[in-house]
């Protein structure tokens, strides 16, 4: 499965459920932007490793909204403590999808440790998350998204789609996102 196929499936589910999407730095955000741009998408342009943490804080603040995080193997490896925090504090409306292409896809396909011995699904379970699902194809991902899960590890092929850069400023991304739940007059 190509990563953009997995992101397309997640974006469709997110739109159908009115879910908030936090997407990882680099090509994953660009691919999501190209597939389906929505105010409910937060494109993380910096702070590598923190997509899962931003999504966690958001899911705790907005417990009635589904929050889906599109993260990567390299990024989760950079912030492994997040798996422990998620296991202990993530509410039911939180879902972390790790798009595992076994490499740093935005910097030239350098391999990560998941290309060899490391299993992030096993690490999420060992951190204490009970509902961890592992999928390899579009059908499996669709099925997993219909089940109760806190972490889904989706194996995807290395490689990036040919998509443009995100034509939004950081201000635009965050202002339209905040407006979903904070009344305009309260926005500073």
Partner 1 sequence: MIDHSQAIHRGLKRAGIDFAASVPCVNLGLLLDLISHDPEMLHIPVTREEEGVGVCAGAWMGGCRPALLMQNSGLGNSINALASLDLLYGIPLLMIVSHRGSDGEPIIGQVPMGKLTSELLKTMEIPSYSPSISTAEESVVKAWNQAESQRKPAALLFDLGFWGSR
Q: How far is the CB of 53 from partner 1 (least distance, A)?
A: 3
CB of 51 to partner 1, least distance (A): 8
Helices (H) and strands (E) in the chain, counts: 8, 8
In terms of residues, how long is the chain? Answer: 188
Q: What is the smallest separation between the CB atom of 105 and partner 1, expressed in angstroms?
A: 19
Give whichever of 55 and 72 is closer to partner 1, judged by the CB atom.
55
Contact (Cβ atoms closer than 8 angstroms) between residue 131 and residue 144: no
Backbone angles phi, psi at 110, to 5 degrees: -65, 135
Output 142 or 178, the one with its CB closest to partner 1: 178
Would you state the structure tokens that stand for residue 55, as one six-digit string? 């999504």
Place of tokens 């190509």: 2
Could you give phi then psi for residue 111, rounded to 5 degrees? -70, 145
Q: Which is nearer to partner 1, 147 or 165 (CB)?
A: 165
Nearer to partner 1, 8 or 24 (CB): 24
Q: Which two tokens stand for residue 62?
A: 């907005």
- Residue closer to partner 1 by CB (options 83, 144) is 83
Q: What's the distance, Cα to Cα, between the start and end of the chain in Å? A: 43
Q: Which residues bind to partner 1, rule: CB under 8 A?
A: 22, 42, 44-62, 79, 81-82, 84-85, 89, 170-171, 173-174, 177-178, 181-182, 188
Residue closer to partner 1, measured from CB, 27 or 177: 177
Least CB distance to partner 1 at residue 23 (A): 13
Smallest separation (angstroms) from partner 1 to the CB of 137? 30
Cα separation, 28 vs 11, whole angstroms? 12
Q: How far is the CB of 187 from partner 1 (least distance, A)?
A: 10
H runs (alpha helix) in the chain: 3-17, 27-35, 51-61, 73-78, 81-89, 120-126, 138-145, 170-178
């Amino acid at each position: 499965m190509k990563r953009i196929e997995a992101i397309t499936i997640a974006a469709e589910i997110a739109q159908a459920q009115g879910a908030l999407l936090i997407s990882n730095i680099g090509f994953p955000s660009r691919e999501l932007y190209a597939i389906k741009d929505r105010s409910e998408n937060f494109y993380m342009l910096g702070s590598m490793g923190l997509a899962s943490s931003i999504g966690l804080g958001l899911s705790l603040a907005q417990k009635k909204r589904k929050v889906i995080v599109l993260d990567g193997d390299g990024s989760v490896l950079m912030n492994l403590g997040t798996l422990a925090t998620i296991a202990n504090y993530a509410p039911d409306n939180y879902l972390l999808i790790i798009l595992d292409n076994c490499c740093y896809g935005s910097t030239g396909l350098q391999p990560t440790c998941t290309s060899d011995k490391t299993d992030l699904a096993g690490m999420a379970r060992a951190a204490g998350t009970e509902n961890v699902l592992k999928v390899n194809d579009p059908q499996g991902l669709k099925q997993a998204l219909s089940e109760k899960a806190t972490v889904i590890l989706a194996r995807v092929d290395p490689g990036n789609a040919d998509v443009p850069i995100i034509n939004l400023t950081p201000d635009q991304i965050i202002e339209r996102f905040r407006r979903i739940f904070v009344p305009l007059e309260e926005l500073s």
